[in-house]
């Protein structure tokens, strides 16, 4: 029991909307394009501090001057999000802040239809997906990622300066290596945890004897190697105007029975592996954070067969679930 209700004002297409949540499963039904996903987005923002889809100005309802989301927990606590067209503020525990405090945030397992294409997606998409998952499991990971991206931007901006010399980048190189190695080590550690249970959970879904694992691929081997490559690549990076080497090029590959998927995995294998990842994510959240995550399912049942639908329900039976489903007419909800 986590979310009791959520109220939206001027959030995307919703001028005003209230969702009362069941303690176990709440289903939001409506036609495509009527704003079902926006409700999940508002809940996600209230519990995690930012949207999983877009920037605030894109969320603001057309013609409106502000948007507001008020989420109430079952224990009576409230989180209010207000965006006035320029800045966003959170009100939680009687304090106004520009960012949602970590102690107020609540873990979420989010399942979108696009996730079912994760195996065959681009390295950038997979990297973004796992960054979101890992950042929820580890506060330090999120900090390192934010710092790495900030330093990377500063270094890239300097590379675009035609008068910049190699020595001008030294301090940025040192910082990029520091935060990059932190990400490298954290990614290896969490992927190892995933692989400890990946095959077992996958087999329970696919009902076969296949072996599956996630392979973390990075061009960075060590701290000294990272720094050396940054220095050696200065001329090339200056011509390109960006940093060509680093953990921002990392990739994650799915391996079935010792063979990389690379588009060869069947539709069933792909769906079973992504389901397994979601179940592992929920298990790790409970293990690391000692909380059962809220589960948000955005129209994924239409993409799964009966066996995988039942598996999804069975594995999340102890979590509060809020899901969307396609139906005729405007939005309706049921517990």
Residues 276-288 have a mean pLDDT of 96
User: What is the model's pLDDT at position 267?
Assistant: 85
**Runs of H (alpha helix) within the chain:** 36-48, 56-59, 123-137, 139-159, 170-206, 223-232, 234-240, 267-289, 306-315
User: What is the residue-wise DSSP string for 228-278?
Assistant: HHHHHTHHHHHHHTS--SSGGG-EEEEEETTEE-TT-S-HHHHHHHHHHHH
Residues 3-30 have a mean pLDDT of 95
Architecture category of domain 1-106+293-335 in CATH: 3-Layer(aba) Sandwich (3.40)
pLDDT in tens, 189-206: 999 999 999 999 999 998
- Residues 199, 254: Cα–Cα separation, whole Å: 12
User: What is the model's pLDDT at position 332?
Assistant: 66
pLDDT in tens, 199-255: 999 999 988 899 999 999 999 989 999 999 999 999 999 999 999 999 999 999 999
- Residues 285, 8: Cα–Cα separation, whole Å: 28
pLDDT in tens, 166-183: 999 999 999 999 999 999
**Domain residue ranges in the chain:** 1-106+293-335, 119-291
The answer to whether residue 266 scores a pLDDT higher than 90 is no
User: What is the model's pLDDT at position 32?
Assistant: 84
The answer to whether residue 43 scores a pLDDT higher than 70 is yes
Architecture category of domain 119-291 in CATH: Up-down Bundle (1.20)
User: What is the model's pLDDT at position 263?
Assistant: 67
CB atoms within 10 A of CB 212: 23
User: What is the model's pLDDT at position 207?
Assistant: 87
Give the closest residue to 148 by CA, choosing from 185, 107, 99. 185
pTM of model > 0.75: yes
Query: Rounded to the nearest 10 degrees, how much is the dihedral formed by the CA atoms of 30, 36, 40, 46?
Result: -120
pLDDT in tens, 53-111: 989 999 999 999 999 999 999 999 999 999 999 999 999 988 999 999 999 999 999 99
């Amino acid at each position: 029991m986590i979310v009791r209700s959520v109220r939206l004002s001027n959030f995307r297409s919703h001028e005003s909307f209230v969702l009362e949540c069941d303690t176990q499963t709440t289903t939001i039904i409506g036609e495509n394009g009527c704003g079902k996903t926006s409700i999940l987005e508002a809940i996600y923002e209230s519990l995690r501090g930012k949207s999983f889809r877009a920037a605030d100005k894109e969320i603001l309802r057309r013609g409106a001057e502000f948007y507001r989301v008020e989420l109430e927990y079952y224990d009576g606590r409230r989180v209010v999000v207000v965006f006035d067209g320029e800045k966003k503020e959170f009100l939680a525990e009687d304090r106004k802040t520009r960012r949602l405090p970590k102690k107020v945030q609540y873990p979420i397992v989010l399942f979108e239809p696009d996730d079912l294409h994760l195996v065959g997606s681009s390295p950038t998409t997979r990297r973004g997906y796992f960054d979101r998952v890992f950042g929820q499991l580890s506060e330090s990971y999120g900090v390192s990622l934010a710092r790495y991206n900030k330093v990377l931007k500063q270094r890239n901006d300097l590379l675009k300066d035609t008068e910049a010399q190699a020595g001008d980048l030294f301090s940025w190189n040192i910082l990029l290596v520091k935060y990059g190695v932190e990400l490298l080590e954290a990614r290896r550690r969490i992927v190892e945890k995933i692989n400890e249970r990946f095959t077992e959970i996958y087999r329970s879904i696919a009902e076969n004897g296949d072996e599956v694992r996630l392979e973390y691929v990075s061009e960075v081997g060590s701290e000294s190697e990272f720094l050396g490559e940054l220095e050696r690549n200065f001329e090339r990076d200056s011509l390109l105007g960006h940093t060509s080497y680093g953990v921002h090029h990392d990739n994650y590959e799915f391996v079935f029975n010792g063979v990389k998927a690379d588009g060869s995995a069947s539709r069933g294998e792909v769906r079973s592996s992504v389901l397994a990842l979601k179940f592992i994510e929920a298990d790790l959240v409970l293990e690391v954070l000692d909380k059962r995550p809220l589960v948000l399912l955005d129209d994924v049942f239409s993409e799964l067969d009966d066996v995988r639908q039942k598996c999804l329900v069975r594995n999340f039976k102890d979590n509060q679930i809020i899901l969307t489903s396609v139906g005729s007419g405007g939005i309706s909800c049921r517990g």
